[in-house]
Structure 1
């Protein structure tokens, strides 16, 4: 199936977009458009929650200085007295 989609659509991005379009068209033609819309709504809710959690973790990590780990682990250079 992937080879057929690659032949029709082209690159990987286009293949996934074509596959999503085919699934949406089949769902609507089969009379399950409402089920597809409900699944998309629940998926968007889960994705929104996931993005929110990662955004909060990124803000907390930035406030805690996690990104400055490389600078904090380097020992200061001592002057050469020799």
Structure 2
């Protein structure tokens, strides 16, 4: 796993842990912004909203090519071991 993939997955899990995004159907390839995340975007200017969309699309494109095993290992290491 590359350092870039690791950083992207950490960002995804951080956003999900703060309930700003959700993984629809529990799948990493189906990411939606939550109402809390949308409220945050709405409070900020439209330039931020455009940037946020670009970033989330970039994250989706990076993660959709990762194997289930990589995602499972990452989730176990960074989420389950912290509970």
TM-score (norm 1): 0.34
Indicate the structure with greater helix content: 1
Bigger-Rg structure (1/2): 1
